[in-house]
Structure 1
Amino acid sequence: MIPEYESVNDFDREIWYEELEEFVPAKVFDAHVHLWDNIFCPSDTTWMNTDFSRLDAFSKEIFPGRELGYFILGTPTPGLDIDGYHKFMADEIAKSPCRLGSTIVTPQMTAEYLDDIIRKYHFSGLKPYRLFAEDPVNCRIRDYLPECLIEVADENQLCITLHMSRVDGIGDPENLADLEYFTSKYENVRWILAHCARAFNSYTLENNIFKLKDLPHLYYDLSAVCDVRSHYLLFRHEDLSRIMFGTDNVDAGGVHAKYITWGKGWQYFKGMDVPHCRKDATFVCYESLRSIKQAADMAGLTHDDVEDVFFNNAKCFFGFAANDFCSTT
């Protein structure tokens, strides 16, 4: 069954106005959002139907009074009608004033096919995903993003938004080795490591941040991560100009839940009814914002630093004009 959008409620507004209103800058560029339509998938799916207008309307609800821009990503869904989906993505991206987005790539694509798609639709980047690999849990980067497709990205000066696979994510030696190889060989490709390099649990970043910070052409989006220390490690040890805000809206960021951690694990959690405290849950993207705010305070970020993370870094990365935004009402 296709899920419905979750509405902004009184508790969400309480969180926004008590904790986030004074922290979130006037301009917000969301570097990690997804679009989808279930007509492109023949099997049952749990994604919400989200075109640009629906995404924009939802974003205006949760970021009241802000000017908004987006980097729009494809939604990775095995079995999708890839040709129809490319066109859908291109048509919807064109409705966004920034006109920035990445399309889905799969290991089955040839370099020639991808090059034709890029030239036809003018995508800004690629969105590979581990679900397209034969072993989605233990696959290496090259298993779901063949090097021939990275060569196309290099020739067209594209970015790649990468969700790490393997149990230890960026802490896995083979993932680090792949990134070291790809970032040094392909100088025209810029890599955006999604979800703080998939550090939903900060243990994966604890030691590896010092290796990542020395790799060229590497950037991060902060989307959906609710672990304060993951954000802190980036703010404290990385070049701030390589960090961009993101939400993972609407399917992941726009639901009332939180990504929680234990030991070396992490999982999506919707909360529970307990007698000793309030049971209300707010949006994942609000929980992520709360952790970003706390980490920014711990790391001593200035107001200008926060504005860079939320807007200026993306402006430099993507090269859009300051007026290429969807004004809120």
Structure 2
Amino acid sequence: MTPAAYTEHDRQIWEEELEEFVPPRVFDAHIHLFNPQHMGEGTGRTWSHADLETLQSWAQRLYPGRETHFLVLGSPAPGIDVQAHNDWAIQQVSQDPQTRMNRLVTPGCNIEDIRRDVLTHGFVGLKPYRLFSVTGDVAQCRIHEFLPHEQMELANELGLWVTMHLSRHHGCADEHNLDDLADFTTRRYPNIKWILAHCARSFTYWPIRKAIDRLRDMPNIWYDLSAVTDVRPFITLFSKENTKRLFYGSDGIDSTYFHGQYVALGRAWQALDTSRFELQFPHCEGRPILAIYEQLLSMKQAAEIAELSADDIEDIIWRNATEALEIGDPMSTRSNTT
């Protein structure tokens, strides 16, 4: 998807539905920086250019008047120059004392390079991705097949965060994923802090509903809420999880700053970018809105159903992540270690 222009319909939703819901400060715990210059020859379509200024500009457009900071995740584009991307992105991140970054890693990354980058440049965690699985099966790979045990051992030693987009058809409901997470969190790697992206990859009602009773008993598990636009996964998390373990995230800019949503179809789901279709709306004045606003609307409605308080919402959108990441006063000196 490609970021869309901000329209009067987006503005209407913000002013009438979201302005009173979103607190004065926003911490986006799932967002990407990207520079197309880091892509190799012949890699095909790439993501939109997004430096820190781009993220901040979008934040002011999406959340007018809000202070916004980020947990930037390395961008897992096949063919990317991993080291060049990480070097450039951490330089961007260093411009904001309250923004942090998880380093892009692939199974081919040298373990000492990762250690050096964490200790020297201030990365707070790792961002692996299923597209780099050593099996070549990006749909059905297990965690250790794209985040090798050697890298998990380092993350455990240094107490790093890992933002995990689970693979396998059932996402967090998959028994291999659940068994692996239980083993990693309670036995093998108790110092890793796991962020399960996209409501533990629950774009429909079913995976998180099936998995929640096991996940909520695991230590060192958090969730980012990014790119989920179905209200039902939020209802499950808001009513059955400890809301202190929930982080707001957008997956901006390409993945949610388009007009459309991630449509749930039973247990299936698909991204729907309305700019790719000649849709007509003869029965209404409204028009499609940005997917990130669809996400926030679903969060708002789920919060009402789960009877969350304004403090709970501020926790999810700001305090939980900033406290967990130990982000202090913006004028304080940023540490180069974790």
User: Residues 108-151 of structure 1: CA distance to partner in whole angstroms, max 9, x if unpaired?
Assistant: 12323322232232201100011111110010111110111011
Of 288, 306, 326, the residue aligned with 1:299 is 306
Moved more, 264-273 or 26-35: 264-273
- Equivalent in the alignment of 2:148: 146
- Equivalent in the alignment of 1:128: 128
Letter in 1 for 2:205: S
Does the aligned pair in 2 maintain the 1:110–1:148 contact within 8 Å? no
Is the aligned partner of 1:314 residue 2:314?
no
Once the two structures are TM-superposed, the CA of residue 322 in structure 1 deviates from its matched residue by 4.5
How does 1:80-95 map onto structure 2 within 5 Å? 80-95=80-95
- Equivalent in the alignment of 1:236: 239
> SS of 1:233's equivalent?
helix
Is the aligned partner of 1:137 residue 2:134?
no
Please give the TM-score of this superposition, normalised by the length of structure 1.
0.95
Is the aligned partner of 1:115 residue 2:118?
no
> SS of 1:206's equivalent?
helix
Does the aligned pair in 2 maintain the 1:102–1:123 contact within 8 Å? yes
- Equivalent in the alignment of 1:164: 166
Once the two structures are TM-superposed, the CA of residue 243 in structure 1 deviates from its matched residue by 0.5
Once the two structures are TM-superposed, the CA of residue 95 in structure 1 deviates from its matched residue by 1.3
Once the two structures are TM-superposed, the CA of residue 257 in structure 1 deviates from its matched residue by 1.3
- Equivalent in the alignment of 1:6: 4
How does 1:166-315 map onto structure 2 within 5 Å? 166-184=168-186, 185-271=188-274, 272-278=279-285, 280-315=287-322
Distance 1:16 1:99, change over 3 A: closer
| Alignment root-mean-square deviation, CA | 1.5
Distance 1:97 1:117, change over 3 A: closer
> SS of 1:319's equivalent?
coil
> SS of 1:224's equivalent?
coil
Distance 1:322 1:230, change over 3 A: farther
> SS of 1:30's equivalent?
strand
Where does the alignment leave 5 or more consecutive residues of structure 2 unmatched?
333-338
Does the aligned pair in 1 maintain the 2:192–2:220 contact within 8 Å? yes
How does 1:16-55 map onto structure 2 within 5 Å? 16-42=14-40, 43-55=43-55
Letter in 2 for 1:11: H
Once the two structures are TM-superposed, the CA of residue 83 in structure 1 deviates from its matched residue by 1.6
Once the two structures are TM-superposed, the CA of residue 56 in structure 1 deviates from its matched residue by 0.7
> SS of 1:249's equivalent?
coil
> SS of 1:64's equivalent?
coil
User: Residues 294-316 of structure 1: CA distance to partner in whole angstroms, max 9, x if unpaired?
Assistant: 00000000111111111111121
Q: Percent identity?
A: 38
Give the Cα separation in 2 of the matches to 1:256 and 1:263. Answer: 22
User: Residues 137-177 of structure 1: CA distance to partner in whole angstroms, max 9, x if unpaired?
Assistant: 01011111011101111112110000011111011100111
Distance 1:232 1:193, change over 3 A: same
Does the aligned pair in 2 maintain the 1:273–1:279 contact within 8 Å? no
Once the two structures are TM-superposed, the CA of residue 46 in structure 1 deviates from its matched residue by 3.1
Where does the alignment leave 5 or more consecutive residues of structure 1 unmatched?
none
Once the two structures are TM-superposed, the CA of residue 244 in structure 1 deviates from its matched residue by 0.9
Does the aligned pair in 2 maintain the 1:191–1:217 contact within 8 Å? yes
Number of residue pairs the alignment of both structures matches: 323
Letter in 2 for 1:242: R
Give the Cα separation in 1 of the matches to 2:185 and 2:120. Answer: 26
Once the two structures are TM-superposed, the CA of residue 278 in structure 1 deviates from its matched residue by 4.4
Letter in 1 for 2:192: V
Please give the TM-score of this superposition, normalised by the length of structure 2.
0.92
Does the aligned pair in 2 maintain the 1:315–1:322 contact within 8 Å? no
Give the Cα separation in 1 of the matches to 2:167 and 2:7. Answer: 35
Letter in 2 for 1:249: G
Give the Cα separation in 2 of the matches to 1:304 and 1:99. Answer: 22
Does the aligned pair in 2 maintain the 1:205–1:233 contact within 8 Å? yes
Give the Cα separation in 1 of the matches to 2:321 and 2:331. Answer: 12
Once the two structures are TM-superposed, the CA of residue 324 in structure 1 deviates from its matched residue by 6.2
Distance 1:91 1:227, change over 3 A: same
> SS of 1:290's equivalent?
helix
